[in-house]
Structure 1
Amino acid sequence: MVFEVIEVMGTYGFTPNTFARNITIDALFKIGCGDLAIKFLKETRRPNFLTFNIALCNLCKLNDLCHIGDVLRMMLRQGYHPKVETFEMIMSCFCKMGNTAEAHQVLGLLITLGITVSVNVWSMLMNGFCRLQRPDMAGKLLEKMVETGSSPSIVTYTTLIRGFLKSNMVSEAFNILNIMESKGYAPDLVLCNVLIDSFAKAGRCDDAIDVFVSMQSRNLAPDSCTVSSLLSTICLSRRFHLLPKLVRGLDVEADLLLYGLCKARRVDEAVDVYHGILLSFPGQDAYIHTVVMDGLTKVGKFNAAIRVFRKAVAEGFTLDVVAYTVAIIGLFMGGRAGEAWSLFRQMKEVGLAPTAHTYNVMVSGFVKERDLNMVNLMLQEMIEAKVELGSNTFLRLSKFLCRPYHSDSVIELWIQMRSLGLISSKVVQELLFDVVTESGKVDDGLIAFLDVSSITDLSVETSGSEDVYDVAASIG
């Protein structure tokens, strides 16, 4: 509509003024015509401050570094200076895209123009140089900052300390830390976390532990990042005996830590932490074993998960049905169906009754193995236990049984489960319709199971499906 108005103005002999052209430039950027917007700007005879500011703001959003420099030079030649906020936006864009040298030039321009540079801008630029592993340049910026009368904040000092530590310039980092403390700043939680994490990664475990202990005297409450870095330190040093002393009085959720390490694929650390927890807190319940097994299984470390389970059993830890189910999942996913069946029987022998999820995992696992005899056996057990067949398991089973080598006896068990209310009618129709849609036909046995007269009676819409085994293997 903006462009239509501009066009109509021309037909009536009106030339769009600067205000109208500013609106047009902004509109061109918003519809993704950046090059045309720049051309329109250059053809504007009397651009004003807003003309350039609109262009710069849009170019920063687009991270268009080339045109940012061009427009900034045009603006300065016309005698206009961006606002401090616009300068900060430009510098942030340069730093984010790794063009720290250009950001440094913009800083020089700010100082030359006599514009007061905020602490955030100084810190932003220092962080940019640190990310380029040039903490020496960041250190020079700190000196320049002080010369211009600006006072560094604890964020500024933290940025520099982190940069020096990542570049293994430990003495320089401590020098900055001493300067900071001489100015009356005490390390806050963020800085302590930076120090602990950096020392842990550098193998300086004693220093990391000292920082953690010093937090108590500063009344700083450790957060999850602190505890995670501390655990990494203990794992690296293999000093698990320190764990009870260091975390005494803290609200440490061991299961969350283990889950986080597994999800980050830091599997070796997760297993080390798991063993450390068992040594330090021998009274842990079955859930701690389940968490580490589940985490290992989800990242494909099936054999490692089973080793954890076997070791827990051998050492006499009490395991619940969930732990056994997760171990069974790991065995199936590792292609060890025979061991999964043995473990299922062992679970019942020790007095643990399988849950509905356990039964469904067993059926899904044997369907994956195309073992009709075991599928038949598991369905019989589910009927005796009056356990409902899950919708995901049903979908996988229905696709399996629609193949030429399906078993009539399994379908009969299926029908029996339906009559006992162990499979809901809605689930049957919705999920089996998906199979019918794919194959275009269904045999008489399945029609009888559906309790409908023909395929045309299946009036439900096709439902989406997932890989059933993956769904069955997910816990929680």
Structure 2
Amino acid sequence: MIARGVEPNSVTYNSLMEGYCLQGDMDKGKGIFDLMLKKGSIVDVFSYSILINGYCNERRMKKAMLLFEEMTRKGMVPDTITYTTLIGGFCKEGRIDDAQNMFSKMKVGGPLPNIHTYSVLLDGLCRNRQIDMALKLFGELEGSNLDFGISLYNILIDGLCTARRIECARDLFRSFPSKGLQPDVKTYTILIIALSTKGLFSEAEALLRGMEEKGCSPDTVTYNTIIQGFIRNDELSRAQELIQEMMTKGFCADDSTAKMITDLITKGKLDPAFHPVEKKSV
């Protein structure tokens, strides 16, 4: 463009900068940002947020915060996207206190948190095993006027299961009918994985049947999870039934399940008809 005498505008510069940031090439991304300033192009909250997001993705929070402070010094008002990006960045680094402080700033004087903000912080708390904080945040969310669906419940249920608080996850799951919620395949799969990991295979299979009765079809992850559990528990007849069911529905064994099945066939414990067939590329 420049070679043809056409000066790029801020939209062009932002798009180019975002491309470099998404590739993780922050030096080139920052170079475009500096060029915008040099050329007198409009550098706004959106421009800063692009670069801040790039640094957060690369876990370079010092650089991200320097930009945040710079934009506020220039009189720019960070938006919900900027704050949410920084909260996510702090969570990735395990800096929960900093993430919580940024969230508090939003509630006090910044743009109000939206569903995405709550989702990012809730996920960060769960991934960092801060389950009590996550439960408190979720309670705050339930008491707000924000409309949210099953995805945030899934984040919390997954966090509870990972923290081995399965009974608490069960209670939350059981509360769905009173809230008018319908669990999706991810909800069921999270719980089936947790139950299988704990050795509660019969309960996991009951949940599998229950989801089908309610019109929620299991997917390949659901089947592979419970099949692996039964194989590890040496309940081969039940595993075989589920392998057949999975194949009938057009799902395939993943690498871990395929290896387990192959080992059983080699040892003569499973019919060779169940040997996993690799999908051929067309």
Instruction: Give TM-score, length-normalised by structure 1.
Output: 0.48
- Residue in structure 1 matched with residue 20 of structure 2 by the alignment: 62
- Residue in structure 2 matched with residue 109 of structure 1 by the alignment: 70
- For 1:197-226, what per-residue CA distance to the aligned partner results, in whole angstroms no more than 9, with x for missing partners? 111111111112122212222222222211
Query: Contact 1:197/1:229 (CA < 8 Å) preserved in 2?
Result: yes
Percent of matched pairs sharing the same residue: 18
- Residue in structure 1 matched with residue 86 of structure 2 by the alignment: 125
- Residue in structure 2 matched with residue 360 of structure 1 by the alignment: none
2:236 and 2:192 map into 1 onto residues whose CA distance is 9
1:252 and 1:307 map into 2 onto residues whose CA distance is 36
- Residue in structure 2 matched with residue 303 of structure 1 by the alignment: 263
- Residue in structure 1 matched with residue 220 of structure 2 by the alignment: 256
Query: Contact 2:122/2:134 (CA < 8 Å) preserved in 1?
Result: yes
- 1:11-410 equivalences in 2 (<5 Å): 20=5, 22=7, 50=9, 54-55=12-13, 57-63=15-21, 64-70=25-31, 72-73=33-34, 75-76=36-37, 81-185=42-146, 188-243=149-204, 244=206, 247=210, 249-254=213-218, 256-257=220-221, 260-261=224-225, 268-269=228-229, 271=231, 278=238, 287-288=244-245, 298-299=258-259, 301-305=261-265, 310=270, 324-327=272-275
Select the structure of larger CA radius of gyration.
1
Shift of 1:152: 0.8
Query: Contact 1:135/1:164 (CA < 8 Å) preserved in 2?
Result: yes
Shift of 1:241: 4.1
- For 1:315-374, what per-residue CA distance to the aligned partner results, in whole angstroms no more than 9, with x for missing partners? xxxxxxxx65235xx7xxxxxxxxxxxxxxxxxxxxxxxxxxxxxxxxxxxxxxxxxxxx
Query: Residue 164 of structure 1 aligns to which amino acid in structure 2?
Result: L
Shift of 1:150: 1.3
2:29 and 2:111 map into 1 onto residues whose CA distance is 27
Query: Residue 271 of structure 1 aligns to which amino acid in structure 2?
Result: I
Structure 1 pair 276–232 and aligned structure 2 pair: CA distance change class (3 A): farther
Instruction: Give TM-score, length-normalised by structure 2.
Output: 0.75
Q: Does the residue aligned with 1:115 lie in a helix, a strand or coil? A: coil
Structure 1 pair 208–253 and aligned structure 2 pair: CA distance change class (3 A): same
Query: Contact 1:205/1:237 (CA < 8 Å) preserved in 2?
Result: no
Structure 1 pair 237–2 and aligned structure 2 pair: CA distance change class (3 A): closer
Structure 1 pair 2–195 and aligned structure 2 pair: CA distance change class (3 A): closer
Name which structure has the greater RCO, CA cutoff 8 Å, separation 6+: 2
Query: Contact 1:123/1:159 (CA < 8 Å) preserved in 2?
Result: yes
Structure 1 pair 196–289 and aligned structure 2 pair: CA distance change class (3 A): same
- Residue in structure 2 matched with residue 362 of structure 1 by the alignment: none
1:156 and 1:186 map into 2 onto residues whose CA distance is 13
- Residue in structure 2 matched with residue 318 of structure 1 by the alignment: none
Q: Which moved more, 1:301-310 or 1:190-199?
A: 301-310
2:258 and 2:80 map into 1 onto residues whose CA distance is 45
2:220 and 2:102 map into 1 onto residues whose CA distance is 41
Q: Does the residue aligned with 1:151 lie in a helix, a strand or coil? A: coil
Aligned residues: 271
Structure 1 pair 205–299 and aligned structure 2 pair: CA distance change class (3 A): same
Shift of 1:130: 0.8
- For 1:89-135, what per-residue CA distance to the aligned partner results, in whole angstroms no more than 9, with x for missing partners? 22222222222322222222333333343322221221111111112
| Unaligned 5+ runs, structure 2 | none
Structure 1 pair 197–272 and aligned structure 2 pair: CA distance change class (3 A): farther
2:233 and 2:177 map into 1 onto residues whose CA distance is 23
2:266 and 2:167 map into 1 onto residues whose CA distance is 34
Structure 1 pair 96–149 and aligned structure 2 pair: CA distance change class (3 A): closer
1:139 and 1:159 map into 2 onto residues whose CA distance is 11
Runs of 4+ in 1 over 6 A off after TM superposition: none
- For 1:54-92, what per-residue CA distance to the aligned partner results, in whole angstroms no more than 9, with x for missing partners? 445423312342344455456557765413332332222
CA RMSD of aligned residues (A): 4.0
Query: Contact 2:196/2:229 (CA < 8 Å) preserved in 1?
Result: yes
